[in-house]
Chains A and B, each alone.
Chain A
């Protein structure tokens, strides 16, 4: 099974945009998938230990989360191999 952990399985990918991207400069881009961390809410709880500034911002009510390019809510369960994206309110135009 070890070779499955080769970036292709048992991993989830994290992307942060806007002000979150600066706070996440030292945060991992990929983390090991674990059944106990299978919702965006669990990810932000997990980040509290290592990246408290980033985690605090993730608890702001205006932060949006997408799972595999679909807007989702914080309690949505995701699968191994998922891509999670965290976003502040948009400011283009």
Chain B
């Protein structure tokens, strides 16, 4: 299986990443998921805050290792031809791309399921932390109960 894991400050190009995993004659389905920076963020005490920026921190070396383990697990569950995971770090602005997960398989079911599984696991296991800046104040985001529930259903 073709796999690619990248943690980077630079943006990524969805079309390029899609083309990079399109070249397998046995592939009948490619699913891509892109996560973006939302302008409105809920904090514990206030709803719908307009953010100035989102900053992502990660644990170099560990993040790549854990993403590799998540992909290993996806590969054991579904017949995959390719998996690409790109996660950006550093300071991002509303509408910026944060994360890409792309999966390729013979049929759509495996590609859809694997992409969802990888995102759910990434959100609760990969060593990345987000903080938002609102009116020049930084707030670290807390892990959501809904993310833990999504991750535990697999």
Contact = CB atoms under 8 A, between A and B. Distances in A.
Interface residues of B, number: 28
A92 B119 CA distance: 10
Contact of B57 (A21, A66, A85, A93): A21
A17 B131 CA distance: 11
Contact of B127 (A19, A21, A87): A87
Contacts of B83: none
B6 to A, nearest CB: 14
Contacts, number: 67
Contacts of B58: 92
A7 interface: no
B130 A91 contact: yes
Interface of B: 35, 56-59, 61-62, 65, 87, 98-99, 119, 122-131, 138, 140-143, 147
Interface of A: 15, 17-19, 21-22, 66, 69, 85, 87-93
